[in-house]
Structure 1
Amino acid sequence: MKIYGTKVWMAIIILLALYTTANCQVAQTPPMGWNSYNCFGSAVHEDEVKANADYVANNLKQYGWQYVVVDFLWSYDNPVGSTIGNPFQKQLEDGSYVPWLTMDKWGRLMPQPTKFPSAFGGNGFKPLGDYVHALGLKFGIHVMRGIPRQAVWAKSPVMGTNGITADMIADTSSTCPWMNHMYGLNMSKPGAQEYLNSILQLYASWGVDFIKVDDISRPYRTAEIEGYEKAIAASGRPMPLSISPGETALSAKDHVTKHASMWRMADDFWDNWEMVLHMFNYAKSWEGTGGPGHWPDCDMIQIGKLSKRGPVGPERYSRFTEDELYTHMNFWCIYRSPLMLGGNMPDNRELELKLFTNAEVLAVNQQGENPKQLYKQDGSMIWVSNVQGSKDLYVGLFNIGDNAHDVVLDLASLKLKGSVGVRDLWKKTDLGSFKKKYTQKLNPHASVLLRLTVK
């Protein structure tokens, strides 16, 4: 009996070690995929998710794009064709809420069947997750931090506990300033971790591969972030943990790099050049914090058809100029931000497809190392990173001014000696060899990505 017990414990230790090793492998490179928010707000429907998944599988998967993420309020009842509308709930005299979010008896939110018909009958997101997986892709969801207020009102029991209910673990003083669906969790209360464990267990049963937790980075919710991390581990299914929105406090740098896979540096990013300029500053502040398993996040890529159903501005193709579109991609790649496409993929034109399918450019994001700002002055900016397993360098030259001018790369500042080969990654063309400097005239807000090789 004693020997049998030892064998059991050894098996448990081995399984835990294997799981820990697997869990450490999430987000070893910046995650790449599609997210529904920028084109559909809170009102994306199942057929639209499938259409975008089909596009990613048919056109982008071979270039490394893999996640399909359902964002924002999938348990909220948006009628077909509606915009984001008003996501607030109204509390009635008896304390109940309208509209009533789709929720199970354990206080766990479920997909709204009017938006996700395959969820009918308590199926949750499993059928949609299965569809995405059958395409060779990975499935992700967005959630709001905490526990539904309606679960607190209903005193829903917490799965995995003996007599603990939602009202006993909620922190009713901890609320989201821009939506009233949730209360925070008091992680010091018995049952709070069990509640998070129960929702992550549910998500794992649906086949969720990626979780984005909102209203948790600003202000920075240390205990709840650790709670989600523990719940993912307990679920037995590795998932990158993405936290938002920014601005994440720099004072949380040591904690966030240990406990989150990606974190938003700024508030929501949209197709506005001033926001690009601000993002350069945020990125500089977080320089040096990215690495395997933990990535500062510039937010989603605003390229393609946006705001088809809210949330910001009219339906449109990105307002960025073509030069700005390339700069958008170039900076997100050289900085090694996660790459989450925000447009409606079936509406892509030849330009969007070109921007998303250059293997040499995407390698800068996936295989670069230690990106850093080399220079920023007089309307010019230069970022550089190391090419993995090579002495080569990736370099981004940016004209961040409003007039065309030369951007000059001083090769000596990179400690490169002798003849240096320069390759334009978008044109996939070798531009020649240079010894002291490389100069390129760039249009306003334009940029170029290069690979330098010492001859």
Structure 2
Amino acid sequence: MTIRHLTHRRLATVLALAACAPAVHADNAASNLRPSGRFSVRPVATAATPPMGWNPWNAFHTQVTEAKIMAVAQVLKSTGLADAGYRYVNMDDGWWLKRRADGRIEIRTSMFPSAALPDGGTSFRPYVERLHSMGLKAGLYTDIGRNACSQSWDEHGANLPVGTRQEREIGTYGYQAQDMRLFYGEWGFDYVKVDACGVADFQAEKPFVKDGTYRALGPYMVRNRPDLSEPKVVERLYADLRAAIDAVRPDGDFILSICNWGEVHVTDWGKDYGQMWRTSQDISANWWSMLHNFDSSAGRALYAGPGHWNDPDMLEVGLGEFDADHPVEARAHMSLWAIINAPLVLGADLSKPAPVVLDIIGKRDVIAVNQDPAGNQGVIVARTADTEALVKSMAQAGTKALALVNRSAHPQALSVALARLNLDPAAPATMRDLWTGQERAVERGVISAELAPHETRLLLVRGLPELKNGVYLGEMPARINVAADGRTQISALRFASWVPAQVNASPAGTPLMVGGKRRDNGIGVLSDSRLEVRLDKEFSRFRTVAGANDDTARPLTFRVYGDGKLLFEQAGTQPVEIDVPVRGVDTLELVVEGKDREAGVVLATWADARLMR
């Protein structure tokens, strides 16, 4: 929303929230392109691998109780799921009773009887300590605005906050420091999910605002209308929340889960404040909803890594079209979440789990793909209208996870050459099906599969790396940070569907091109972008062919920096070969700058970008 569309009162609010925001991203393209000399992602304190756990929302909504949660916690322990990694036992909307005059939130003790204290107050400390005593971690839920999602979307539902209008304002807006001291400090929670309905769904024209039930706020986030949203305001609120958490947990031992459904450019700034952020709307227990949410994260490998993860929402295994009667779809869902490093947060009622559901969610070989310590999200290497293949580079050299996906309701055949996995097609290679355990040799350098409707085959492939003494940048997305993405060149609506920096594809999702030639390996970016690559002094040379991503000459300037020192610079309209020494360098930075007065947008490619040891 532009300033001229704001009322004077809302303008004052926006300016107040956006002021004095050192962590909040600036729009000044020139300053964003200056080298930082360092890898600027926060050091990993927790969530070095994607968080795993359980959330009651998809099974119980606001009808959750302490007894229901503890029944699932016992199953996590007794079945070995906790030992497999599912340790965060979370809760969602509906737990609060009201906010007292002193700002403290009271707990609904009819749902959580252990919260009742002898003095008439309430505390979640006994509940949290019970989970901790079981070797589990505890998660809570809140909102970035004044009110929660249930108050907007379930107006007549059970377990809504009670009391006066002010008492029913149980979101963190205006109470960030007090609530974080309560949640992470006094109560001892390890994980807090922070929703955003409070800044999206309480606009002045809503009936429940007009009648005085709730106060208006924003909207600072207009769903599916990024051109009308105010990203800096929402970012500022999450920045303030993170600062409040840091004051309580300076050791960084916590998780902040940002839930604003991929809106307001959260992929730009989510990693600065949270360990995970939603990339899509809420998931439903049907095939097409699952694929939609998967797609929202699948192209964003460069935005995730240890301590900061794309989150396409909870696992629906055990529910709807992924229940015990749909094992093919359930395994596909689990496989896709595993290969894109999605947080594995279960959503079904596990108090009486079906054996096939337990087998799927507890499959250690599949979980190991998700939890691989390198933290590289899988990247798409082949795609048709009905099929796709994703490859994830594992920590062990020459080892790849490969997902062969049939999105359709009809059988499909799919083949992928070893070369697309950056493995030597002339060298011996093996592949193991992680669901069946069957292992066999790869024949003639090609992996082929006949896929049943909705089937995903998840394979672990071992071979000889194609680069004998190096690695392509696309094989190590967890070590790349998109420090500036050039998005000011494109409209907000286009930005919602493009990914400004992608592995093996342009921001528009089209194939990589340089000098009229298609390139299978590389990073596609917008001009006015800067990538930070964490080298840790492990490499000796950087090599690439850089140019505009089409057959029309576009004026671009390419720069390469090592620890802030300029190593290469060249401007022009033709592709340029770059080969620079990087021995002893911790952080490599790749900058492309340029404008097109007619087109306005310039797509650029770092083709065959690779690091040699």
| TM-score range for the pair, normalised by the shorter chain length | 0.7 to 0.9
Residue among 115, 122, 125 paired with 1:119: 115
Please say if 1:296 is aligned against 2:314.
no
TM-score under structure 1 length normalisation? 0.75
How far 1:111 sits from its partner (Å)? 1.8
How do residues 25-424 of structure 1 correspond to structure 2 at under 5 angstroms?
25-59=45-79, 60-75=81-96, 101-121=97-117, 122-147=121-146, 178=153, 181-182=168-169, 192=174, 195-203=175-183, 204-215=185-196, 219=221, 220=231, 221-236=234-249, 238-249=253-264, 251-304=265-318, 318=323, 321-367=326-372, 368-417=375-424, 418-424=427-433
Amino acid at match of 2:420: S
Contact conserved, 1:144 with 1:182, CA < 8 A, in 2?
Answer: no
How far 1:104 sits from its partner (Å)? 3.6
- Equivalent pairs counted in the alignment come to 369
| Cα separation, 2, equivalents of 1:358 and 1:390 | 23
Amino acid at match of 1:46: E
| Cα separation, 2, equivalents of 1:322 and 1:344 | 17
Structure 2 CA distance for partners of 1:205 and 1:215, relative to 1, 3 Å: same
2:593 corresponds to: none
Normalized per residue, the structure richer in helix is 1
2:213 corresponds to: none
Structure 2 CA distance for partners of 1:443 and 1:383, relative to 1, 3 Å: same
Contact conserved, 2:322 with 2:330, CA < 8 A, in 1?
Answer: no
Residue among 447, 458, 461 paired with 1:452: 461
What do residues 332-390 of structure 1 show as CA deviations (whole Å, max 9, x unaligned)? Answer: 00000011100011121111110121111101111052421111114111111111132
How far 1:179 sits from its partner (Å)? 6.5
Larger Rg: 2
| Cα separation, 2, equivalents of 1:285 and 1:370 | 9
Residue among 431, 443, 449 paired with 1:434: 443
1:14 corresponds to: none
Contact conserved, 2:382 with 2:416, CA < 8 A, in 1?
Answer: no
> Which stretch shows the higher mean deviation, 419-428 or 231-240?
231-240
Contact conserved, 2:193 with 2:258, CA < 8 A, in 1?
Answer: yes
2:378 aligns to what SS in structure 1? strand
How far 1:259 sits from its partner (Å)? 1.5
2:397 aligns to what SS in structure 1? coil
How far 1:391 sits from its partner (Å)? 2.1
| Cα separation, 2, equivalents of 1:223 and 1:350 | 45
Structure 2 CA distance for partners of 1:103 and 1:179, relative to 1, 3 Å: same
Structure 2 CA distance for partners of 1:275 and 1:435, relative to 1, 3 Å: same
1:333 aligns to what SS in structure 2? helix
1:42 aligns to what SS in structure 2? helix
Taking every aligned residue pair, what percent have the same amino acid on both sides? 28
Structure with bigger RCO (C-alpha 8 Å, 6+ apart): 1
Structure 2 CA distance for partners of 1:113 and 1:337, relative to 1, 3 Å: same
Amino acid at match of 1:232: I
What do residues 80-112 of structure 1 show as CA deviations (whole Å, max 9, x unaligned)? Answer: xxxxxxxxxxxxxxxxxxxxx333442232320
Contact conserved, 1:107 with 1:148, CA < 8 A, in 2?
Answer: no
CA RMSD of aligned residues (A): 2.7
Contact conserved, 1:264 with 1:299, CA < 8 A, in 2?
Answer: yes
1:345 aligns to what SS in structure 2? coil
Contact conserved, 1:396 with 1:448, CA < 8 A, in 2?
Answer: yes
| Cα separation, 1, equivalents of 2:446 and 2:261 | 38
> Which stretch shows the higher mean deviation, 317-326 or 47-56?
317-326
What do residues 164-192 of structure 1 show as CA deviations (whole Å, max 9, x unaligned)? Answer: xxxxxxxxxxx985368548777xxxxx4
How far 1:215 sits from its partner (Å)? 1.2
1:70 aligns to what SS in structure 2? coil
| Cα separation, 2, equivalents of 1:390 and 1:23 | 24
Structure 2 CA distance for partners of 1:42 and 1:369, relative to 1, 3 Å: same
Contact conserved, 2:299 with 2:379, CA < 8 A, in 1?
Answer: no
1:448 aligns to what SS in structure 2? strand
Structure 2 residue ranges without an equivalent (≥5): 1-41, 156-167, 201-220, 222-230, 465-613
| Cα separation, 2, equivalents of 1:184 and 1:273 | 33
Contact conserved, 2:44 with 2:307, CA < 8 A, in 1?
Answer: yes
| Cα separation, 1, equivalents of 2:405 and 2:398 | 23
What do residues 12-53 of structure 1 show as CA deviations (whole Å, max 9, x unaligned)? Answer: xxxxxxxxxx98412111100000101110111111111111
Contact conserved, 2:403 with 2:457, CA < 8 A, in 1?
Answer: yes
| Cα separation, 2, equivalents of 1:110 and 1:184 | 12
1:157 corresponds to: none
Contact conserved, 2:281 with 2:293, CA < 8 A, in 1?
Answer: no
Structure 2 CA distance for partners of 1:112 and 1:177, relative to 1, 3 Å: closer
Contact conserved, 1:176 with 1:215, CA < 8 A, in 2?
Answer: no
TM-score under structure 2 length normalisation? 0.57
How far 1:403 sits from its partner (Å)? 1.0
Contact conserved, 1:373 with 1:383, CA < 8 A, in 2?
Answer: yes
Structure 2 CA distance for partners of 1:32 and 1:184, relative to 1, 3 Å: closer
1:434 aligns to what SS in structure 2? coil
> Which stretch shows the higher mean deviation, 214-223 or 358-367?
214-223
Amino acid at match of 1:128: Y
2:139 aligns to what SS in structure 1? strand
Structure 2 CA distance for partners of 1:148 and 1:108, relative to 1, 3 Å: farther
Contact conserved, 1:73 with 1:143, CA < 8 A, in 2?
Answer: no
| Cα separation, 2, equivalents of 1:334 and 1:301 | 14
| Cα separation, 2, equivalents of 1:290 and 1:104 | 39
> Which stretch shows the higher mean deviation, 331-340 or 113-122?
113-122
> Which stretch shows the higher mean deviation, 64-73 or 176-185?
176-185
Amino acid at match of 1:277: L
What do residues 162-221 of structure 1 show as CA deviations (whole Å, max 9, x unaligned)? Answer: xxxxxxxxxxxxx985368548777xxxxx4xx311111111211200000011696251
2:63 aligns to what SS in structure 1? coil
1:325 aligns to what SS in structure 2? helix
Structure 2 CA distance for partners of 1:116 and 1:288, relative to 1, 3 Å: same
How far 1:319 sits from its partner (Å)? 8.6
